[in-house]
Amino acid sequence: MTDAPHAPRGSAGAVSGPPYGYVADKDALVKRMRRIEGQTRGIEKMITDDRYCIDILTQIAAVTTALDAVAVKILEDHVTHCVRHALSSGDDAVAAEKTNELLEAIHRFTRTR
């Protein structure tokens, strides 16, 4: 098994369990992303077809909300899987690394709001 970057590791360095928390929901997340992709293509068609600006903006808001929902789900899974695993590992360096990653991700996510 090849290690994925940033995969949670046990004290011996081996990956324990699925590498990321979202793996259990991967099929649903992929389905949601495909739906968002379709919505995005729909916006492109609306622009091509010279649709009313407010209608386009409404669809952009819907896509943004849908992407935010996916991001929040992945963030929740990261906290409940990757961060929790790092904190319970007993390795202070790993716990600090995952804590910093989490804080940076929150900053990136909220910076766009």
Domains assigned to the chain = 22-111 (1.20.58.1000)
pLDDT (0 to 100) of residue 110? 85
Smallest CA-to-CA distance from 101 within 23, 27, 20 is with: 20
pTM over 0.85: no
Q: What is the pLDDT of residues 83-111, one digit of tens each?
A: 999 999 999 999 999 999 999 999 988 88
Q: Which residues of the chain have pLDDT under 70?
A: 1-18, 112-113
pLDDT (0 to 100) of residue 112? 64
Q: What is the DSSP string of 19-69?
A: SSGGGGGHHHHHHHHHHHHHHHHHHHHHHHTT--HHHHHHHHHHHHHHHHH
pLDDT (0 to 100) of residue 18? 60
Q: How far apart are CA 75 and CA 41, in angstroms?
A: 26
